[in-house]
Amino acid sequence: MKNTKVVVNRYGGPEVLEIVNEPLRIPTRNEVRIKVSCSGVALADMMRREGLYPNSPEVPFTPGYEAVGVIDALGEDVTQFEIGQKAAVFFDGVGAYASYVYCKAEEAIPIPPGIEDAEAVTIILNYVTAYQMLHRIAKVQEGDRILIHGASGGVGTALMDLGRLAKLKMYGTASASKHMPLERFRARLIDYRKDDFVEVIRQEAPEGIDAVFDPIGGENWRRSFTTLGEHGRFVGYGYTSVFQQGSGEIWASEWSNLAEQQVTPAGNPACLYSITNLRHQHPDWFMEDVSELMNLLAAGEIAPMIYDRLPLSEAAKAHQLLAESAVIGKVVLIS
């Protein structure tokens, strides 16, 4: 039996993603092997592929944060799982684009019955990120006004879905062509290509925003700061403007400066969120939040938006879709 993986052997565009096959190995002590049904695709995968992510992994590497599948082999001393049990795993951005993955038994995440695999994938990265930023970091309350940049993305749609559930007043930036599918979240959608979000907020919410969630960085961060109300909080969780800059140096500098200061120039609290960092600091939070979100999904309280399901062999096409800003929600790779 072979394990099919997507490998980056050199930094570059989608064309550098290569499909390789390698022999399967037997799980080691306290390890499980998962036969993957689907893996998630994220913008950060593209940043690592191009070598733009701070501390990008050295080549060769396999991209991917999250995978869902069925446990098909158990290492010695594993007693909490059974062969045939559905499970998920979260990696620190490297390892999920594969037909089989391995993890320590305590890091495998059981998937409740009745949950579709592709929807489960959205929970592990996108919904946990959104949930933790809303409730662990910004600590939003019913009626709070929030501004979501990149509202059509995987995390953006998760923020709006959870914001709707929390009864928040939401503003979201997205291109006009994506507004119709997003209307279900009942947010005030702002066409960032036509309208100035700062001016829209100034006119429609003159008291200011209670929490801003910004994955863009650079000038967008600075303009987002100006929309905050007296008690507003800023949460940055990415730096997609790095694609225009072509270098991770500015990102690394601005990120480290704001992380050290922890306040905006006007004195509002500022937090830079990283799911991998918070998971290492509070692994109990991660497992608690995954469980809560899986329960919400099983109950039909949340409805992840999946844009496309593509074969693992078409990972390059998935990256191209994200690069073209064509995606609304999540792209999933099917093994």
Task: Tell me the sheet residues that pair with 33.
Answer: 73, 102
- Summarize the confidence of residues 73-102 as an average pLDDT: 97
Query: What pLDDT, in 10s, does the model give residues 284-317?
Result: 999 999 999 999 999 999 999 999 999 999 999 9
For residue 247, what pLDDT band results from cuts at 50, 70 and 90?
low
Please give the pLDDT value at position 259. Answer: 87
For residue 248, what pLDDT band results from cuts at 50, 70 and 90?
low
Task: Please indicate whether residue 253 or residue 46 has the higher confidence score (pLDDT).
Answer: 46
For residue 242, what pLDDT band results from cuts at 50, 70 and 90?
confident
- Summarize the confidence of residues 3-10 as an average pLDDT: 98
Tokens of 150: 């990149």
Please give the pLDDT value at position 1. Answer: 85
Task: Tell me the sheet residues that pair with 89.
Answer: 67
Show the CA angle centred on residue 204, arms to residues 198 and 206, nearest 5°: 75
For residue 55, what pLDDT band results from cuts at 50, 70 and 90?
confident
Indicate the length of the chain as a whole number.
335
Query: What pLDDT, in 10s, does the model give residues 117-162?
Result: 999 999 999 999 999 999 999 999 999 999 999 999 999 999 999 9
Residues 234, 28: Cα–Cα separation, whole Å: 43
Tokens of 159: 């923020």
Give the fold, CATH level 3, of 2-111+305-334: Quinone Oxidoreductase; Chain A, domain 1 (3.90.180)
Show the CA angle centred on residue 214, arms to residues 177 and 307, nearest 5°: 40
pTM (2 decimals)?
A: 0.96
Boundaries of every domain in the chain:
2-111+305-334, 125-276
DSSP 202: H
Instruction: For domain 125-276, give the CATH number.
Output: 3.40.50.720
Please report, rounded to a whole number, the percentage of residues in the chain having pLDDT higher than 70: 99
- Give yes or no for a contact between 198 and 223, defined as CB atoms under 8 angstroms apart: yes
- The sign of the dihedral angle between the CA atoms of 244, 53, 96, 275 is negative
- Summarize the confidence of residues 204-232 as an average pLDDT: 97
CA dist list (Å): 231 to 215, 266, 276: 21, 11, 27
Residues 287, 240: Cα–Cα separation, whole Å: 28
- Summarize the confidence of residues 192-217 as an average pLDDT: 97
**H helix runs in the chain, sequence order:** 43-49, 117-122, 128-131, 154-165, 179-182, 197-204, 218-225, 242-245, 249-261, 275-281, 283-298, 315-323
Q: What is the mean pLDDT of the chain?
A: 96
Please report, rounded to a whole number, the percentage of residues in the chain having pLDDT higher than 90: 91
- Summarize the confidence of residues 270-292 as an average pLDDT: 96
Tokens of 140: 């939003």
